[in-house]
Amino acid sequence: MNRFVACLTCSLVLLCPVLLQAEEQPNAETALQRLKEGNARFAADQPAAKHRDAKRRAEVAKGQRPFAVILACADSRVAPELIFDQGLGDMLVVRVAGNVSNPEIIGSIEFGATSLKAPLIVVLGHSQCGAVAAAVDGKPLPSNLAKVIERIHIGKDLPKEKEAALDAAIKANVLHHAKELTKQSKVLEEFVAGQRVRIVVGVYSLRTGEVDWLEMPKAKEQKR
Ligand SMILES: [Zn+2]
């Protein structure tokens, strides 16, 4: 890519984050494979821990080209760069309690997909999620925290047993917000339909360190 060609997205030319780094993006399948391999290294306690040194810092100071966008919970035990064994500039990460979506969050994801051309979006839930547990409990919460919990979607007909109910609610919530991305964003809907972007869903286990990848509904739009 010629970095001196004006960028159609932002017209900043020399300062444009899209043009500053010439490296090509992988396709969605390769991007997902990178995450799966990174998670396997992390779960096996053998991280490569690449892209965390001064050389990488200098490289990405010129511009960013993350190959994946991650929407994850704010939980301190679910740090995406660690659990996928990635480093600086590899992933654009948006974090909020309960990995919920709203216009600001979807806007940040759109930035990753459109301006930075990341081919893969991951919506990542996790086991023992306190935010989802609060939504399942349904007890009143103070001030702004209540607004976050209101956005959590626990689904219907939860199992009676407490742990099974939480696991089912976590899955329902992560699938719901993955669907919201294309429902609430015209550009993401077009990108998925045109196979420029793929959205995948996973649930990270705090105990094993492994991500369980879930099937997304509407598989025909997710062929890439
Ligand atoms: Zn959580």
Cα of 132 vs centre of ligand 1, distance in Å, is: 7
Cα of 108 vs centre of ligand 1, distance in Å, is: 19
Cα distance from N-terminal residue to C-terminal residue, the chain? 23
Q: Which helix (DSSP H) or strand (DSSP E) does residue 7 occupy?
A: none
Cα of 125 vs centre of ligand 1, distance in Å, is: 7
| pLDDT in the model for residue 122 | 98
Per-residue pLDDT at 223 exceeds 60: no
- Confidence tier at 216 by pLDDT (50, 70, 90): confident
Cα of 78 vs centre of ligand 1, distance in Å, is: 8
Cβ-count burial of 88 within 10 angstroms (0-12 exposed, 13-18 middle, 19+ buried)? middle
Cα of 159 vs centre of ligand 1, distance in Å, is: 20
| pLDDT in the model for residue 23 | 60
Q: Among 2-11, 12-21, 52-61, 95-104, which stretch is predicted with the lowest mean pLDDT?
A: 2-11
**What global pTM score does this model have?**
0.88
| pLDDT in the model for residue 218 | 61
Cα of 77 vs centre of ligand 1, distance in Å, is: 9
- Confidence tier at 6 by pLDDT (50, 70, 90): very low
| pLDDT in the model for residue 217 | 66
pLDDT in tens, 23-50: 689 999 999 999 999 999 999 999 999 9
Per-residue pLDDT at 90 exceeds 70: yes
- 41-75 burial, b at 16+ Cβ within 10 Å, e below that, comes to ebbeeebeeebeeeeeeebbeebbbbbbbbbbbeb
Q: Cα separation of 221 and 185, whole Å?
A: 15
Whole-number mean pLDDT of the chain? Answer: 90
| Domains, the chain, ordered by start | 26-221 (3.40.1050.10)
Cα of 30 vs centre of ligand 1, distance in Å, is: 27
Q: Among 31-35, 68-72, 146-150, 220-224, which stretch is predicted with the lowest mean pLDDT?
A: 220-224
Per-residue pLDDT at 205 exceeds 60: yes
